[in-house]
Structure 1
Amino acid sequence: MAKDDTIKGKSVGAVQNGLRILRYVSELGTPTGVNQIARATGVSASSSFNILGTLVQEGLITFDDDTKTYSPGLGLLGLAAPLLTTNPVELVTPEIEELSRKHSSLICLWNITADERIVLSNRASSSKTVRVDMNLGARLPAYVGAVGRCYAAFQNPPEKVLRQTFDKLHWQAAPPFEDYLADVETARKCGFAFDFGNLFTGLEITASVVTDAMSRPRYGLSGISIAGQQSRAQIEGLASDIKRSADWIGANLFGSSHVYR
């Protein structure tokens, strides 16, 4: 989710290029030369050379003089050290708070468990006088609701197996299986899904999932509002931002394909 509209100050191009190069070298994991780095990041070769030199001086990147290649440096561990003992759920709190503020919705982060349940691990609510809230620790089947449609899209079970799972789910207003299946297919294509009053009557939900480097769903990210509070265009805007945030969280927590911001 772009934050240019919420953070004061002008973006500094040199800093952005430096971070882009640092991320690329860190994620690549193998030594690489300046020309490849320039091509991959879109930063000119001359600028890449100068930025790499600065990063080498700071210990964030190492340079092999024999092969003329660059690799991640131990200095990165020093930067990351304060985060290594932090609960990953806490690290994404600013992200979900910003989503909630921007879209005036309850934003929920759901941990996906090995027994295919989702557990509410973190949440941020808007400042609206009348708003939705949920208790931390709330548990739901992984295949239910908007998160469930996305989860089903990633798991991709045979239709017969999905039908058997669907028949065991509890909804306040269950959709027809054919509609649910169509929603799963849509989620597979666009990366997000909706639930309009099926899971909880009177609530509109949009969601995406956070995946790891192996494309396994690890968290669900959902936005919830009272029916009628937001237009369809606003709900679709929330869905797009939730998808971008889910991709960004996956990249930073699990090293999945990075989304530059």
Structure 2
Amino acid sequence: MPEPTDERGVREVKSAARTVGLLELLAERGDRPARLQELADALGVPRSSMYALLQTLIGRGWVRTDVTGSLYGIGIHALLTGTSYLDSDPRVRAVRPYLDEASQALGETVHMGRLDGADVAYLATRESHEYLRTISRVGRRLPAHVGALGKALLAERPDEELPEGPYAPATPRTHTHRDALAADLARTRARGYSVDREEGVLGIVGFGFALRYDVPAQDAISCSVPVVRLNPAHEDRIITVMREIRAKIEATTPGGGAGAPHWR
């Protein structure tokens, strides 16, 4: 069987792909450590090869193990690398002060996220002190169809790019069929922002705003508020403030100039 290639016809390096696959698998498991055989089976790698790979990554801080040497989890170097990504991204740095401004003005939780395939990765969050933490923290990935950030970004793209579905539900209110999601995205385009009414988390309503310094937009901001604290006047205030914040971000955030890398 030929080795996989990318869009430029470059062959995939098997050992690198195996390493990345292992790290992604451990990251997805979160606080559920894995055993050697589980990892070998999940990635289709011989047990001896998986053991050698794990030991190499433990030595470099990318994987950690318990005192018995039988359980494995993601290591601290993954955090350090992720932090470096956030610190090196000029758009994340530029948006953070405006998230502070929005959070202070509204007293609610605000997020910045970036589309990554079929998911949204959360890059920055400012938490409200008024209610318990939501599931959306920095570094978390959520399917784009379930939340305000993702729907704001999907609405920037033609419906033909939507997967056929059905989609996995996060709550009983999640859109699980393509036609329902497409209708929601049409409403998002008409009003200029997305609304997530308990589709991602029960009890939480979100309002999402695409940041159009890229075409199509890759980043978005959102405001999340508990249903019990939301009334028409507060909703209007959220929309007004978040529109103003979006305008400020788009006016000041770099779009890539001479000498600046344009990341794919």
How far apart in 2 are the matches of 1:183 and 1:86? 31
Query: 1:219: Cα distance to partner?
Result: 0.9
Q: Deviations over 1:182-229 (max 9, x none)?
A: 32112112210111111111111111111225x311212111121111
Query: 1:125: Cα distance to partner?
Result: 1.7
Partner of 2:22: none
Query: 1:255: Cα distance to partner?
Result: 4.5
Q: Does structure 1 retain, via aligned residues, the 8 Å contact 2:171–2:199?
A: yes
Q: Does structure 2 retain, via aligned residues, the 8 Å contact 1:207–1:239?
A: no
Partner of 1:223: 223
Letter in 2 for 1:141: P
3-state SS of paired residue (1:92)? helix
1:248 and 2:251 equivalent?
Answer: no
Partner of 2:102: 99
Partner of 1:186: 187
How far apart in 2 are the matches of 1:237 and 1:107? 14
Q: Does structure 1 retain, via aligned residues, the 8 Å contact 2:114–2:218?
A: yes
TM-score (norm 2): 0.56
Q: Deviations over 1:22-65 (max 9, x none)?
A: xxxxxxxxxxxxxxxxxxxxxxxxxxxxxxxxxxxxxxxxxxxx
Partner of 2:170: 171
Size of the alignment, in residue pairs? 167
Letter in 1 for 2:183: A
Query: 1:126: Cα distance to partner?
Result: 2.4
Q: 1:16-31 counterparts in 2 under 5 A?
A: none
How far apart in 2 are the matches of 1:255 and 1:127? 33
How far apart in 1 are the matches of 2:230 and 2:109? 13
How far apart in 1 are the matches of 2:186 and 2:89? 36
With over 3 angstroms needed to count, the CA separation of the structure-2 counterparts of 1:145 and 1:205, relative to structure 1, is same
Structure 2 unaligned blocks of 5 or more: 1-86, 257-264
Partner of 1:139: 141
How far apart in 1 are the matches of 2:196 and 2:132? 17
1:198 and 2:205 equivalent?
Answer: no
With over 3 angstroms needed to count, the CA separation of the structure-2 counterparts of 1:252 and 1:189, relative to structure 1, is same
Percent identity of the aligned residues? 17
Q: 1:71-82 counterparts in 2 under 5 A?
A: none
With over 3 angstroms needed to count, the CA separation of the structure-2 counterparts of 1:227 and 1:250, relative to structure 1, is same
Partner of 2:68: none
Partner of 1:157: 159
Q: Does structure 2 retain, via aligned residues, the 8 Å contact 1:132–1:225?
A: no
CA RMSD, 1 decimal: 2.6
Q: Does structure 1 retain, via aligned residues, the 8 Å contact 2:109–2:128?
A: yes
Query: 1:253: Cα distance to partner?
Result: 2.0
Letter in 1 for 2:222: S
3-state SS of paired residue (2:156)? helix
Partner of 1:239: 239
How far apart in 2 are the matches of 1:208 and 1:145? 12
3-state SS of paired residue (2:225)? strand
